[in-house]
Chain A
Amino acid sequence: MKLTRRKLVAGTALAALATQFPVRMALAQDKQVLFSFPQDFTKIYTFVTSEYSQGQRDYISLVNGRGGINGYKIVAEVSDHANDQPRAIEAYERAKSQGAVLIDPLSTPVARALVPRVLEDKINMITAFSGRSDAADGTVFPYVLPMSPNYWTQAGLLVDYFKQQDGGSLQGKTICFVHIDTPFGKEPLPIFENLAAREGFTFKAFPYTPPGNDQSAIWPQVRRARPDWTVFWGAAVGQTVALTEAVRNGLDMSRVSSSVWLSESDMDVVGRDQTVGVMKVEPCASGRDPKVIQDILAEVVGKGQGAGPEDKVGTSYYNYGVMMAALMLEGVRRATEIAPDGPVTGDWLNAGLTSITDFTAEGLIPPTTVTPEDHQGGGMGRIARWNGEKFEPATDWYQANQDVVWEQIHKYSAEFKATGK
């Protein structure tokens, strides 16, 4: 067949159009709750989205396969917004017109763009590990729900762990912070700076240009600053390059850490043996040991109904997806208990989500309590270390420095309330 230019253009247009159609995961039921998952499968968040989405879909299949929640089935519409705000807004409006009561865009710029709309439309937006950290303040952001430790909390957890390891004091120590030079990368700066003043350590920040594929001029500066602890903060290629450069510069891996954005596949890229000891913040357990992951393997993947490759089941990002889906569905369960006959609206689900109490997803996540005031869910997490094969917990679930974190949350949410920005 001869490939003419017209055929090429038509084929490309068809392919572009095809990606716009969402994947329906459950047939329409009389009693159903519609979730919308427009996420970035093709642009910036590609490093996490496929595994995260796979975890979400597998968990929803698990629950639907068991008959749903108190008579309600969950329908999840998955589509690609490519981190593009107009496309995301289009997907949001489509979801709204179809009756979606929850949206999970998994993208900071998209979540930020959607905040005014969800507040007006009363549709619950999940912003786990993304979006605005000040959305933890439920009194200002009633329909924006991070339900996970935000970046400020993660920074607070790390500093507390460093302090524990150094005998209860960071006085005179140096913490270096290598971060992508974007709003996401700069987000934890105020927490580190506040804690530096309070704990008496020296804080040095080293920004790198996004996406961070060349950091060769940054890390010699870090090494020569002789840090006691080093935190690197980025995503995708920025993380693997940062870790590679840390190894090349001879930094002690047991004193190098990152946020939640570090996964097994990053370790594969850098070298599993070379990164032993490196730390990350864990919002949930990784691996296949948790009961809920075992259930997914038996009841979903084992029956050939998995949403993606079996070898991804139990990776860090897969489990993040399971974690968030479990929280969403726990919200549905609570909502059905509060108002068994609905109607299914954003407010109906919101009442359920904000009454989640001490939920652990059968040991997958720390005890999480979401209230109308605290949308973060308590801010618990743990530190995990890479042992060459997997991330092993170095601490139990705990929370730390929440006073400093909430000071920031209230400061910025008050600013949003006053200015809308």
Chain B
Amino acid sequence: MDVILLAELAINGVFVGLMYALLAAGIVLIYKTSGIANLAQGALAMTGAYVVVMLAGGLGLSMWLAIPLAMAVMFLVGALIERVALRRMIGQPVIMVIMLTIGLEIFLRGLLPGLFGASVKRLDLGIPNAPLFLGDLLLSRALLIGGGVSLALIVLAILFFNSRLGVIMRAVSDNQTASWSVGIRVERAIAIAWGLSATMATTSGVLWGATQGVDWSLSLLLIKALAIAILGGLDSMVGVLIAGVLVGLAESMATGILDPIVGGGTRDVVASVIIVLTLLLRPHGLFGREHIERV
């Protein structure tokens, strides 16, 4: 096996994994606050990217104005989803809430391409596509920058959970009734979590949109994000970071090593195998907290 090729696949895999991890971090953010796995996170990333395309392409704003504006819009969208849909589900079984997020995913996946057209849209961040060689090793500038930005944002999210607001969110996650009793505005904390999660999804959508273009397929990132969140532990930001690297590496190496042997198609199998194995062997993931309920 070609060592340079393996090194190239490994490096690309790590950075791709970090980009997946950013989306997974949004899932963890909501789970840590409200105990709900948001299965609409992929569609939120797609929505955020469409909003950027609309602001930059449709209204002619500069990309560097369109992106923060889209993040602000998506913060409101996230908070609105919590206010209009999720809050009405208080008291309903968790499975119904998860079903609601699946419904939201399907709704957005149909609505956005319908509104903005189904063809792939360009999202140009000005990252040159020209190859970047380190000796014989080729690195992708888009992946390096995307992975770097994702890493920085995930580290920020880890630090956020040690801030005052972050501690409030953790308290809400641990026990909503107890949080209410000490004066924490639980609904507000959850709404902020949804807003922040939608903002992270937008960043992820922009980074992936710059890599592949913007269309409905951005919502498929959910599967990778879910695999990472489950492997890392649904309530662990550090877990997301490490699991992202592991999943990215595993996918990339599987494509390079297993595809030529089995004839292709192993990339997506990796994510599903990781989800199944983690749930069977270590349901709380590598770094998640194990919840024991008294029955």
A182 to B213, CA, bound (A): 21
A248 to B212, CA, bound (A): 12
Please, which residues of chain B bring their CB within 8 A of the CB of A305?
none
The reply to whether B117 and A50 form a contact with Cβ atoms under 8 Å apart is yes
Assuming the contacts A207-B259, A224-B5, asked whether A213 and B217 have C-beta atoms less than 8 A apart, the reply is yes
Chain B nearest CB, measured from A237 CB (Å): 5
The reply to whether A248 and B268 form a contact with Cβ atoms under 8 Å apart is no
For residue B218, CB closer than 8 A to chain A, the reply is yes
For residue B66, CB closer than 8 A to chain A, the reply is no
The reply to whether B255 and A217 form a contact with Cβ atoms under 8 Å apart is yes
Please, which residues of chain A bring their CB within 8 A of the CB of B263?
207
For residue A271, CB closer than 8 A to chain B, the reply is yes
* Chain A contact patch, size range: 35 or more
For residue B215, CB closer than 8 A to chain A, the reply is yes
Please, which residues of chain B bring their CB within 8 A of the CB of A236?
119-120, 215, 217
The reply to whether B212 and A181 form a contact with Cβ atoms under 8 Å apart is no
Chain B nearest CB, measured from A213 CB (Å): 5
The reply to whether B12 and A220 form a contact with Cβ atoms under 8 Å apart is yes
The reply to whether B129 and A211 form a contact with Cβ atoms under 8 Å apart is no
A220 to B5, CA, bound (A): 7
Q: Which of B138, B142, B255 contacts A223 (CB 8 A)?
A: B138
For residue B110, CB closer than 8 A to chain A, the reply is yes
Chain B nearest CB, measured from A203 CB (Å): 14
The reply to whether B255 and A47 form a contact with Cβ atoms under 8 Å apart is no
The reply to whether B143 and A216 form a contact with Cβ atoms under 8 Å apart is yes
The reply to whether B113 and A46 form a contact with Cβ atoms under 8 Å apart is yes
Q: List 8 A-B pairs, minimum CB-CB distance, nearest first.
A: A46-B118, A207-B264, A217-B255, A250-B131, A269-B213, A217-B252, A247-B129, A269-B122
> 8 pairs across A/B with beta carbons < 8 Å?
A42-B113, A217-B255, A218-B255, A220-B9, A224-B2, A240-B212, A244-B129, A265-B120
Q: A residues within 8 Å of B by Cβ?
A: 3, 41-42, 46-47, 50, 181, 206-209, 211, 213-214, 216-218, 220-221, 223-224, 236-237, 240-241, 244, 247-250, 265-266, 268-271, 274
**Given A213-B218, A244-B129, A248-B129, 17 more pairs with CB closer than 8 A:** A181-B265, A206-B264, A207-B264, A209-B265, A211-B220, A216-B16, A216-B143, A217-B267, A220-B12, A236-B119, A240-B213, A244-B211, A250-B131, A265-B119, A268-B122, A269-B121, A270-B129
